[in-house]
Structure 1
């Protein structure tokens, strides 16, 4: 068999049963990407790992990670000649996915899943570019993908699998003969194999030293941290849970958008087993938990930290995690100290706005004073904060925007006087189908086609190019003004804050050099 360039995890000795394709955000043949790193497709890698364990020959083509163009991506799929091509459909990359699908050889069957597939299945089934779509999978796909690879006809008995009846032109759906196995829709995440990292071209990876690493070395002083401040860590991303109990109106993971999703947390011993496996196999010493729940529920934090302490995780590794501000606000100083002792390096917080009015509209269950209080306590304990912010949310006015800018600069000032750092990641609002705010926008008269017209955000005219923004996948917009602030002002504010954060990063890098 021929070698398969840029396809991760494939065995060239066997024809692929399935090639999992992560579409690029834009056609990089027209404008090359400026960044060399993107978040790994962990969900896709989970499915590929499960299929491989079930005995199928599979590979992953991460076109976003490799910065590929549309035609190049399709050519690679056609050269590989898999029985199935499988795509994760996301709203910002749907057009890219559909254009790739239209270029695939007709003898390659197509299956799709992902947030966009779940939110708009009939629109996708009706798209003529998806003419060879033979299975649309709603929700978590590990077990159902493996069943389809075994026998396509099994789709008729699989719950949550749709396709287009070519004779009648109508939607067809799998109908289980009896009560469906709940594992098909929500597998036991402790029974799933650990992600096979050969499917991920950029994970694990070596990360350059950061301001957080430098501050940790100064405040905690272990050999691991001092070495990392000079050479950086080998880092890996990891998932500790699936599902979210919150209902932030802009988020695809909102509980109201996923009533069928059972929220599950991995057993601490299962997680620690993966940490140690990654360390033994790749030398990983830093981990990033990218799920919503790791620091989002008090009992989960307590259970995980008990296990981390037993295994002395903080003496061997550092880790980052997403966190809920209202949950962290309830932690005592002793509990924060325990997080530090167990290796917590940085918390990613969905701060979103400095305006309490906008936070209420987002259903964030926080206010600006709580965010400031939590950030101050975290950085005082030597835990850094990465704050996410949204500009241009529906209903946002000039005063709300000004409050967010003041809030970010206040948090920067707090960090300048404490061991922990604060990084601000600021984005223009973009709507996602299936989210609570999506329906609100439709009710307000917006057309779905307009809300789905994702395009690049060019900040160069305002003095900040996309290389300052770390990752291409966040540099897009639908170019609709949703609030009371004109888009040019949103963009200029976005560029200013991006440039200021980049300058803070650059000062750190210069000091380290």
Structure 2
């Protein structure tokens, strides 16, 4: 029997207008998942929240969070009998999404969106497994999805909505109606409702206390933070902006891949209102800003921190955020002091490589010396760093790989002499359609079908079983060697670094217990 109770946010007393489906990265009936937490699908929850406030009964099925298989996911959707099934298409999960779509009852209309739909719309429209596809939405979907739920025929006047003409087999597209479609492509993000967390089965969540939590609490005189550091914060993820002005070659958010996206930042008052709402409703005391700009643009940092100071955010909450190394490098020490006073706990940085040659190829606008300088300044102020690294980037040779390993260990050594911590999160390179490097690879003769052949990889064979826990969502590959280093060596290096990071985590927990 279908597990309808896995559908989040739905009112089961009424007909279901739409069921939003986050497909699993792999079929978990074949091999159960090992981790028990995945990042929440905030973009999908935004759309569901807006549709709900527009008067529609919608639900969200996070098949990845629940560790579902393809058949089980399709069975739940069919049993729920929604008018629409809405899917977020990402390159690593596209195959799972298409196989689920093929198993849905013909009476359920399908709409899709997401990075993969935007990058390869004609390929998606032509997929016979998407026979029930009635709307492909390019870009931000809140307003247009609600319009489609109101009346499918409105797709004819909605910009950025595509479908396949059933008679001609050609692509059809909505033609914007100036009277009714203003602002459809880029909604005012300050006017959008706060995300209804009922749609997210794992957000907010009770986090395990970290060494960074305890160190930060020790430096504060607030009972709330000290207690949370010992028992674990209630944490929530949040978005502070949309769009990115940078053009990192491997990233789906690269500005060249998203010319339609206007960069917008939420007002400090709107953000702080959501922080307080999450605290009042769920007891949240820690937040993670997952967007690209919160600590990636100098003016935004200044504006947000002035408001955080006025509202005494640092006395009440802690938070993490993504940041840009080149921007943080220009911040004076007094601004770093203000960040820590306002509750900043950790910055996630796209460090990516220890080779300046590879960083240039990635268009990162940073170098190794800059990363070491920024890391040293951050951890000296008590701000921890989570660094992301890519192994096996196109053109990478053994010297580049060795440089990345040395770089990570240098950053760990820097952290060992300062109050802040450094965590390294290492991934195997995989290409995404629509990114600058995708075009480079296809222009060089790589077959798009082979570049899209994502498969999950079990990396625990290198003796790193425990250290590989909670990495299901990252262990996948297209199985192609893009540089000079053999793929197996890339994976062995990845496992080695992950094992060393796990050992550091364990030592830190013991030291702060």
Provide TM-score, normalisation by structure 1. 0.98
The 3 A distance-change label for structure 1 pair 52 and 324 is same
Task: Report Cα offsets for 1:78-123 as digits up to 9, x if no partner.
Answer: 0000000000000000000000000000000000000000000000
Q: How far, CA to CA, are the matches of 1:466 and 1:158 in structure 2?
A: 49
Q: Alpha-carbon deviations, 1:365-402, whole Å to 9, x = none? A: 00000000000000000000000000000000000000
1:250 & 1:508 partners in 2: Cα distance?
A: 32
Q: CA deviation at 1:180?
A: 6.9
* Aligned 8 A contact 1:34 1:466 in 2: no
Q: Does the 8 A contact of 2:459 with 2:468 survive in 1?
A: no
Q: Deviations over 1:206-254 (max 9, x none)?
A: 0011121122133445423322221010000000000000000000000
- Measure the CA separation in 1 of the matches of 2:253 and 2:299: 21
**Where do 1:159-308 residues align within 5 Å?**
159-178=159-178, 181-220=181-220, 222-308=222-308
Note if contact 1:427-1:474 (Cα within 8 Å) is conserved in structure 2: yes
Q: 2 CA distance for matches of 1:243 and 1:53?
A: 24
Map of 1:92 onto structure 2? 92
Residues of 1 paired with 2:59 and 2:167: CA distance?
A: 32
1:474 Cα shift? 1.1
What RMSD in Å do the two structures reach over aligned CA positions?
1.3
Runs of 4+ in 1 over 3 A off after TM superposition: 177-182, 218-222, 510-513
Tell me if structure 1 keeps the 8 A contact 2:34–2:469: no
In structure 1, how many angstroms separate the alpha carbons of the residues matched to 2:207 and 2:424?
Answer: 19
Question: Are residues 1:153 and 2:158 paired?
Answer: no
Q: d(CA) in 1 for partners of 2:110 and 2:485? A: 42
Give the Cα–Cα distance (whole angstroms) in 1 for the partners of residues 118 and 472 of structure 2. Answer: 24
Q: 1:299 to 1:246 in 2, by over 3 A?
A: same
* Helix, strand or coil at the partner of 2:136: strand
CA distance in 2, matches of 1:145, 1:466: 42
Distance 2:465 2:25 in 1: 17
How far apart are the structure 1 equivalents of 2:237 and 2:338? 22
The 8 Å contact of residues 467 and 498 in structure 2, kept in 1 or not, is answered as no
Structure-2 separation of matches of 1:179 and 1:393: 47
User: Is 1:310 the equivalent of 2:316?
Assistant: no
Q: Matches of 2:207 and 2:177 in 1, distance apart?
A: 50
In structure 2, distance between residues paired with 1:466 and 1:12? 40
In 2, distance between residues paired with 1:222 and 1:396? 48
What CA distance in whole angstroms lies between the structure 2 residues aligned with 1:221 and 1:424?
A: 30
The answer to whether the Cα contact below 8 Å between 1:9 and 1:198 also exists between their aligned partners in 2 is yes
For 2:480 and 2:220, how far apart are their aligned partners in 1? 47
What is the deviation of 1:3? 8.6
CA distance in 2, matches of 1:253, 1:211: 32
Q: Distance in 1 between matches of 2:302 and 2:336?
A: 11
Structure 2 SS opposite 1:155: helix
Aligned-pair CA distance for 1:427: 0.2
In structure 2, the partner of 1:449 is: 449
The answer to whether 1:38 aligns with 2:38 is: yes
Q: Which runs of 5+ in 1 are unaligned?
A: none
Per-residue deviation, residues 290-347 of structure 1 (Å, max 9, x unmatched):
0000001000000000100110000000000000000000000000000011100000
TM-superposed CA distance for 1:456, in Å, is 1.1
Taking the aligned partners of 2:372 and 2:381, their CA distance within structure 1 comes to 14
Deviation of 1:511 after TM superposition, in Å, equals 3.8
Which moves more between the two structures, 500-509 or 195-204?
500-509
- The equivalent of 2:463 in structure 1 is 463
**Aligned partners of 1:219 and 1:382 also within 8 Å:** no
Secondary structure of the corresponding residue to residue 5 of structure 2: coil
Q: Distance in 2 between matches of 1:3 and 1:387?
A: 38
8 Å contact from structure 1 (residues 249, 437) kept in 2: yes
Is contact 1:294–1:323 with CA below 8 Å preserved after alignment? yes
Mapped partners of 2:69, 2:483: distance in 1: 34
SS at match of 2:68: coil
8 Å CA contact 2:460, 2:468 repeated in 1:
no
CA contact (8 A) 1:114 1:139 kept: yes
Q: Distance in 1 between matches of 2:103 and 2:467?
A: 31
Secondary structure (helix, strand or coil) at the match of 1:71 reads: helix
Distance 1:403-1:3 versus aligned 2 partners, 3 A rule: closer
Partner of 1:376: 376
Shift of 1:182: 4.2
Whether the aligned pair in 2 keeps the contact of 1:35 and 1:467 (CA below 8 Å) is: no
* Deviation of the 1:457 alpha carbon: 1.9
Alignment correspondent of 2:28: 28
1:415-426 equivalences in 2 (<5 Å): 415-426=415-426
Deviation at residue 464 of structure 1 after TM alignment: 1.8
* 1:289–1:321 Cα contact (<8 Å) kept: yes
* CA distance in 2 between partners of 1:77 and 1:469 (Å): 29
